Structure formats: C-alpha cells, structure tokens
Structure 1
Amino acid sequence: MSTRLEHNVDATRYEIYLDETLAGYADYAERTEGEKKVRDIQHTLTFPEFRGRGVAAQVVEYALNNARAEGFSIIPTCWYVEKYIGEHPEYADLVG
C-alpha cells in the first residue's frame, strides 16, 4: 500500500492518501501574532475505513514537521494533536 502526504495550501489542510485514496486530513487556520506565524491545527479526521492504521499519527507528524520547516508555531486546538505532542516531546517547542 502506497502512502502519500500533501500540504493542500488552498484547502488549509494536510492530507494523507493511501493507494491514491484520501484517507484523512488535519485542517488548520493560519495567522500572524506580531512577528510570530501561527498554525492552529483545529481538526484531525481519519475516514472510517482507514482507522486503526496510524493514519492520524502520520498526518499530524507531517503537519508538525512542515510547520517547523516553514517557521510556524502551533496551537493544538484538536485534542488528537495535543495528545500527539504530549507523547512526542520533540514537538513541544512548536506550541506557542
């Protein structure tokens, strides 16, 4: 099974495809607070037929790595993103 991760800028979300089928996504809102660029990850969704395969973890990891690379801080409004960061302290510095 092939996996593809994409940052869909126009839809303000990160997407994950399994065998070219959209399996889930994490959407966000973007803003600037003073000099700081912020992405508020608001919602993570895995479609029912893809649950239990680590889809959400993969898309959240991709989103966090992309935000870091682009110089954004993160607000983990989504409970799953907050939980993921809590379990992966290497991303704690992004919260702010």
Structure 2
Amino acid sequence: MSTRLEHNADATRYEIYLDDTLAGYADYAESTTGDRKVRDIQHTLTFPEFRGRGVAAQVVEFALNDARAEGFSVIPTCWYVEKYIAEHPEYADLVG
C-alpha cells in the first residue's frame, strides 16, 4: 500500500493518502503576531476504514515537521496532537 502525505495549504490542512484515497487529515488555523508565526492544529481525523494503521500519527508527524521547517510554532488544540507531542518530546519546542 502506497502512502502519500501532502500539505493542502488552500484547505489549511495536512492530508494522508493510502493508495491515492484520502485516509485522514489534520486541519489548522494560521496566525501571525509580530514576527511569531503560529499554526493551531485544531482537529485530526482518520476515516473509519483506515483506523488502526497509524494514519493519524503519520499525518501529525508530517504536520509538525512541516511547521518546524516553515518556522511556525504550534498550538495543539487537538487532543491527539497534544498527546502525540507529549509522547514525542522532540517536538515539545514547537509548542508556543
């Protein structure tokens, strides 16, 4: 099964595709205060038929890595993103 991760900036979300079928996503809101850029990751969703395959973890990891690369800090409004960061302390520096 092929996996593709994409940043869909027009829809303000990160998407994961399994065999070219949308399997889930993490949506966000973006803001800037002065020189501080923030992505508030508000919701993570895995479609029922793809649950139990690590889809949410993959899309959240992709979102966090992209936020870091783009110079954003992250607000983990979504409970799953908050839990993921707590379990992966290498992303704790993004929270702000």
Q: What TM-score comes out, normalization by structure 2 length?
A: 0.99
Q: Distance in 1 between matches of 2:22 and 2:79?
A: 22
RMSD over aligned Cα, in angstroms?
Answer: 0.3
Which digits, 9 at most, give the CA deviation of each residue in 1:22-75, with x for residues without a partner?
000000000002210000000000000000000000000000000000000000
Structure 1 position 90, deviation (Å): 0.1
Which consecutive aligned stretches of 4+ in structure 1 deviate over 3 angstroms post-superposition? none
Q: What TM-score comes out, normalization by structure 1 length?
A: 0.99
Which secondary structure state, in structure 1, belongs to the residue aligned with residue 5 of structure 2?
A: strand
Which amino acid in the other structure matches residue 8 of structure 1?
Answer: N
Structure 2, unpaired ranges of 5+: none
Alignment of 1:1-96 (within 5 A): 1-96=1-96
Structure 1, unpaired ranges of 5+: none
Q: Number of residues paired by the alignment?
A: 96
